[in-house]
Every structure is written in C-alpha cells, then in structure tokens.
Chain A
Amino acid sequence: MKRRAWPLLGVLAFGYAFLYVPILLLIFYSFNESRLVTVWSGFSVKWYGELLHNRQLLDAAWLSIRIAATNATVAVVLGTLAANALVRHGRFRGRTGLELLLTAPLVMPDVIIGLSLLLLFVALRELIGWPDGRGFTTITIAHITFSMAYVAVVVRSRLGQMDASLEEAAMDLGARPLGVYRQITLPLIAPALLSGWLLAFTLSLDDLVIASFVSGPGATTLPMVVYSSVRMGVSPQINALATLIVAVVTLAVVIAGISLGRKPGR
C-alpha cells in the first residue's frame, strides 16, 4: 500500500509546485537586497520602503481600491436585485433576456467588453456630452457591468437554496414585504452578499484589459502601472507590491470562506 501511494504523492507535489512555486518565488525575491530580481544577495525590506515613496504606484493603488470598492458596492446592489427578480418572480416578460444579459459578461472576452464600452462612451459623449473625459467614472461603470453578473450568480444560488416558505411565514406573522426582506431575506443571504462583494472587489482590482480600454489620461489603475513598468524592466518594488496584494487577497478569500462555511439555514 505504502509503495503504491508514492507516485500519487509525487503528482500531488508537482501540482502544488506548479501552482504555488511562482508565487512563493515572487514573495521570496521581494525580500531580496539586490536590484536584480533573480539574483539573491541577502535579506532586506528596502523595496517595501521604496514602494511607500513611489507616488505613481501609490496613486494608482489608491485609485484601484476606490474603483474596486465603489464597483463592489454597486454591483452587490444591482446583482442582488437581478438575482431576486430571477429567483422570486417566476416567469415574467423579458426573463430570458435578463438571464442572457447576466451570463454574457461571464463568457464574453474582456477585449470585447472593453472595446464595446469604449465605443459606447465615445458615442455617448458625442450625443449628450457625457462622460466628459474618461477615468474613475468610466472604469467603475465598466467594472460594474461585468462584476454584477458574478454577484448575481452567487446571490442567486443562495436565494434559490432558501426555503420560500420562510418569507411567507414572516408575512403570515404580520411583516410587510419590506420588513420581510430586512428581517428575514437579507440576514439569510448576507454571507452571499459578502462573498459577492469580495469577488467583485477582486475582479475589479486585477482587471487590466477592460480598464485599459475605458481609462483616460491621468487615470491609471494599479494593474496598468505594474504592466507598463514590467515592460521597462522588473523592479523588486513590483515584487513587494505583489506580495502585499497576495496577502490582501488571501485574507479576503479566507474571510469569504469562513462566512460561507457557516451553515446556512434551510
């Protein structure tokens, strides 16, 4: 038995290595003293220090976080409304259309979403003079359009699992529709809302393609800065930044996992 387990363990180890060694290397070299990313010359945290003084990178990070947070919040509201309509309102006129619209962003290539939105913004500007210049607003709108679809998927499955008679019971006990939503539905789908928010936040934070299409001069998001600076030669600052992002994303995933792992009510 023991001997036969070895090949399997080997495959497993290879799988883990394939997935995690690059990330671990990246984190490892962020503590490298040398300017050359691939040559180890001693432990140092100086790149983290330099990162904190790099205005361009910090501005981009702040912009990205603002976009991601706004996007996540709006996407959760819109995505939840869409999920509600699909789960609770049976067969209404335009249901198929809504379902199609909600799945489209999940399968559509980013390049097409980015390009089509850019064309839309340009056309709108010529027609009604808005949006006047591209930047925070246009990127946020673009991100909302696709991340609300992801939120809708998450919330929809949670709503679908929820026993509809819970809402009826609340109404039967004297709660008006809004009260039912506030006291019963929202608390029960809260974990889905949280993980939807985190998902939308992450999607927005690491989007490069769509943002490149719909941003304008002066509005450079973090992935755009990283991408362009890597093209001019990798600086260990980027490693440091990536390490920080990995840390934040890991934390978010852990939080989402814990909140979803809590046994939902039947």
Chain B
Amino acid sequence: MAVSNERRLLEPWQDPKAPPYLRIDRVTKTFGDLYAVDDVSLNIFKGEFFSLLGSSGCGKSTLLRLLAGFEYPTSGRIYIDGVDVTDVPPYARPVNMMFQSYALFPHMTVEQNVEFGLKQDRVAKKERQERVGEMLDLLKIMELRKRRPDQLSGGQRQRVALARSLARHPKLLLLDEPLGALDKRLRESTQFELVNLQERLGITFVTVTHDQEEAMTMSTRIAVMDAGQIMQVDTPTAIYEFPNCRLTAEFIGSVNLFEGKVMEREGDQVLIEARHGGILRMRSLHPHPLGTPVTVAIRPEKMRLSDGPAEDGVNRLSGVVEDIAYLGDVSIYRIRANGGQLVEMTLTNIQPRTEQALTWEQDVSVEWSPTSGVVLTE
C-alpha cells in the first residue's frame, strides 16, 4: 500500500532496541470534562511518515497541537530525540507545523514567508537567502517568490506553506490535513510528491488526516484514533488486513461484519455460529473461550460470488442481488442474505459490463475461505 517501502531486515518499530525519535509517554489532555487525548503512548522513529487517522473530534488534532507546543498536556511527557520538550514553548521546539489553512502571512511575499523562520533564528542574511532559494527550488516555486499569498492558487499556497515549514530544517514536521484543501486530482499527485520529499529530506513527518486513502498511500505507519484513544498502530497493510477491532475495520475501507458465538476450536481455526444463521470457520490465533461473542470481519473483495443458491456448508451464504453499483474498474454488489443481513462485495470487471451475467433479483451465493478475514472480540 505504501508508495515506497525500503526493504530493511527489521523495520525500526519491530526492533525493540531501536530508540524512538519521538516518544509520547502517557499523554492526557482534558478540556473541562472532555478527554481530548486520553492516556496516549506512541513511539515514532526517525524518518517515519506517521499518520494519525480518525474522524473529526477524535483528538488527533489536539495531539498534533500538543506536539507543536500550542497546548500543554494535562499529564504525561513528550520527548523529541531524547529531550523532554513537554514544557518547551512552541518557538523553542525543533518542530515545525504546516497548518490546514496554510496560515501564510498575507502581508509578506512568498520569499519573505519562507524566510520568516530563518530570520527568527538570526541566520545571517547570506545564508538565509541561500536556504530560501534552496527551498523555493525544491518545491518548484522559484518564479512565485515575489507574489503575495492572495495571488496564489490553492496548490501553490500549499507548496509555500511546505517550504516555509521545512526551511528551518525541523527534526519533526507536523502536517495538519496537508491535502485537505486541494481538489481530488491535485491531491493524488501531491501525495506522491510529499512522500518523495520526505524520503529525500529524511525528516520525520507526523500528519493528521481523516482521509483513510491518503493515510494508506503515504504512511509508513498509521495510528487509528477514536475518542482520544489510540485503537491500533500498525503499517497500512496490517491495519487493512488485520484490524484489531470493529472500529478500525469499519474506518478503513468497507467491511462485512458477521456477529456470532465461538462454538468449537480446531487447531488454528475456530467454528462460529453466526447470529443470522450458518456456521463460519475462521483462522484465529486468539484463545477464544467457547461461547464468547465475536465478530467476523471480511473485506468485500475477499469473497467469491457465484450464480444460484449455495449448498450447505461453512462460510457460505445464499441471497439475492439487491443493488449493483458500477464504478468502471469494479462493481459493488449488495446482496441480501437469506438470514436478512446485507453483504457488500466488490468484483473486478474483467469482462465488459454488458457481458456480465449477474443482475438484480438474481439468486446468488457468497463464499470465502477461513483465511480471508479476521475474528474480532469486540
């Protein structure tokens, strides 16, 4: 899923001896009664492109503001490169942020905007100009240097904001919805550019986004947040294939959930009696006690669809095609199972649409293998 993953023997997060570059240690932030960030611990490593993913109000932005220093945690500590920065004000942190609104200074030219941070650091004029030039070159905005922010397009503003936040060579770059204000096409090309830039500069990026696709394409790792807590931290692939709870499964991509009870264990597989009828057999290493309620999560593209009702057996459902959404490359089928449940599945359109056999109201059966999904306990 990630655009580029250098193949190392061991990724830093898999290596227990690797020192974290950014360490968030049991941080809590409350606003009155509200726990915006609730006991969050995270280790982020040098050179990572880390995404905080969640719906609005889940605390991801507050966490980012805590890292930037605009908010101070109610409890817990934050370390950057081994130094405790919890009480360091924003202007003294080796961290820069790219704001969602870009926050370009409207009374300054592009050049002056990029130069601003260097001026605060009292960098000599000659070096300042060199570094501003470097940044403008890097982001291909040299010809805009004399313009003011209100004379720029959205994409150009984004580049200026990025140049400005990179000019001080921060140890950590925070990006708040970096692509949120761009239109769809620009967003896709910018995603790849951001990743390339990050790999070239080797700066650790922490980004906040509510767009799961964006997080999947760009990140080395993703933390899924909900109600101030981190639900799961893992690589995009692992989060997609092996979500650890219903929330993560539902937040990333679409998923079919079948509730049921554990009936029997056979080696590394469990048999589950589904609430809507039928027996499911899934691979699970979790030691589920018999009788525990579980949820089986299966991605829509990991199911097989065939004509005619199913014969009895495990991981099989019969139903009727209720809806077909043709998206060009794939079609989404909604199937009303005989138990009453709605099952969603995607099929790649290998044949031209007109050739397809399946149509509305047709009797079909859905089938999957024990390794196609995961068993969730909550």
Contacts and interface: CB of A to CB of B under 8 A. Distances in A.
Interface of A: 163, 165-166, 168-176, 179, 183-184, 187-188, 263-266
B91 A163 contact: no
B105 A265 contact: yes
Given A168-B99, A265-B149, A173 B120 contact: yes
Contacts of A175: 91, 116, 120
B103 A168 contact: yes
Given A173-B96, A173-B120, A188 B90 contact: no
Contacts of B97: 168-169, 172
Contact of B103 (A169, A174, A176): A169
A188 B103 contact: no
Interface residues of B, number: 26
Contacts of B100: 165
Nearest to A167: B103
Interface in B101-130: 101, 103, 105-107, 116-117, 120-121
Interface of B: 68-70, 89-92, 95-97, 99-101, 103, 105-107, 116-117, 120-121, 149-150, 164-165, 168
Nearest to B93: A172
Contacts of A188: 106-107
A170 B107 CA distance: 13
Contacts of A166: 103, 105-106
A165 B101 contact: yes
Given A165-B99, A168-B90, A263-B150, A173 B116 contact: yes
B31 to A, nearest CB: 11
A212 to B, nearest CB: 43
Contact of B68 (A172, A176, A263): A172
B355 to A, nearest CB: 53
B174 to A, nearest CB: 9
28 contacts: A163-B103, A165-B100, A166-B106, A168-B90, A168-B97, A168-B99, A168-B103, A170-B105, A171-B70, A171-B89, A172-B68, A172-B69, A172-B90, A172-B95, A172-B96, A173-B96, A173-B164, A173-B168, A174-B120, A174-B121, A174-B168, A176-B91, A184-B105, A188-B106, A264-B106, A265-B105, A265-B150, A266-B106
A172 B97 CA distance: 7
Contacts of B96: 172-173
Given A168-B99, A169-B99, A173-B168, A179 B120 contact: yes
Question: Which 5 residue pairs of A and B lie closest in terms of their CB atoms, listed nearest first?
Answer: A265-B106, A174-B120, A173-B117, A169-B103, A165-B103
Contacts of B120: 173-175, 179
Contact of B107 (A169, A174, A176, A187): A187
Contacts of B117: 173-174
B291 to A, nearest CB: 53
B248 to A, nearest CB: 30
A154 to B, nearest CB: 19
Contacts of A169: 97, 99, 103, 105
Contacts of B121: 174
B23 to A, nearest CB: 21
A48 to B, nearest CB: 42
Nearest to A190: B107
A171 B99 CA distance: 12
Contacts of A263: 150
Contacts of B95: 172
B176 to A, nearest CB: 9
Contacts of B68: 168, 172
B341 to A, nearest CB: 46
Contacts of A172: 68-70, 90-91, 95-97, 165
A149 to B, nearest CB: 28
Nearest to B101: A165
B101 A171 contact: no
Nearest to B96: A172
Nearest to A174: B120
B168 A168 contact: no
Contacts of A184: 105
* Best-surrounded residue of A172, A174, A263 (most CB of chain B within 10 A): A172
Nearest to A187: B107
B103 A171 contact: no
Contacts of B107: 187-188, 265
Nearest to B176: A165
Contacts of B101: 163, 165
Nearest to A266: B106
A259 to B, nearest CB: 13
A170 B99 CA distance: 11
A187 B121 CA distance: 21
